[in-house]
Amino acid sequence: MSRVTVARRTRSAFGAIALLLALAAPAAAALDVLVKDVQTPADAVRTTIELRDIVPDRFRRMMMDDGRVLHLRVQAELWESHPIWDRLVYPAIVRVFRLGRTVAGRNVAITDPDGGARTFPAVPSMMPIVLELGDRNRVALTEKYYVHVVATLGTLAETEADEVGDAVFGGEGETNSLGALGRLAIKTAMKVSDYLQSVSAEARSRKLAGSDILRRPPP
């Protein structure tokens, strides 16, 4: 057997080994979303969403090493299922969360749309979110429904980041309810196209009968 043939077979063997190792290696963590349930505990239809691996590695480095602020946008919709085309029951619900490194230390602060902040020693691997989608009167007992969710994490340009910061935290000198309503409108209007860099994930719940959605859970 010639040296050339041996060298080719050796390269092929190493290539096959590298491919097997790549296939066996665990996949890199990525943003994932799961619709846990759809219920009506009171007058509003409510869905519980679970976000997993909310900050992939490259965004984690941006936040922890570079001090960048990340914005997590969650959009949820209730659809009525039909054979030809589905019908959107309510306008889409959009919530924006702000994620960043704390000023002192390397803890992580997550601020919800109402301005409430929680601090964690590290980015949580799982983040539950409860959203009210709309009035229960829009749901019919005999129809089929599902929830569609899109979650997007990313960075914004500085001007948009300031606007979203005002939407989340409130602008200086604006403490009246009218100003709060205006800041809420800015926050809700933020589109995925505003992101400079982003990663998205989406999920759809199983189809549920309206009677199951309207059934109140046990106390």
* CA proximity to 106, closest of 122, 91, 94, 95: 122
Cβ atoms of residues 199 and 56 within 8 Å: yes
Cβ atoms of residues 151 and 93 within 8 Å: no
- Distance between CA 96 and CA 72 in Å, rounded? 6
- Distance between CA 138 and CA 88 in Å, rounded? 11
Residue spans of alpha helices (H) in 42-157 = 57-64
Give residue 190's pLDDT: 58
- Distance between CA 182 and CA 191 in Å, rounded? 16
* Diameter of the chain measured on Cα atoms: 86
* CA proximity to 53, closest of 27, 17, 79: 27
Give residue 90's pLDDT: 93
* CA proximity to 195, closest of 111, 82, 65, 96: 96
> What is the pLDDT tens value at each position of the chain, 219 positions in all?
554 444 444 444 444 433 333 333 333 457 899 999 999 988 999 999 999 998 888 888 888 888 888 999 999 999 999 998 999 999 999 999 999 888 776 789 999 888 888 989 988 889 999 999 999 999 999 999 999 999 999 888 654 444 554 544 444 444 444 444 444 444 444 566 677 788 899 999 999 999 999 987 655
Is pTM beyond 0.75 here?
no
Cβ atoms of residues 180 and 187 within 8 Å: no
Give residue 123's pLDDT: 87
Residues with Cβ within 8 Å of residue 115, at least 6 apart in sequence: 168, 169, 170
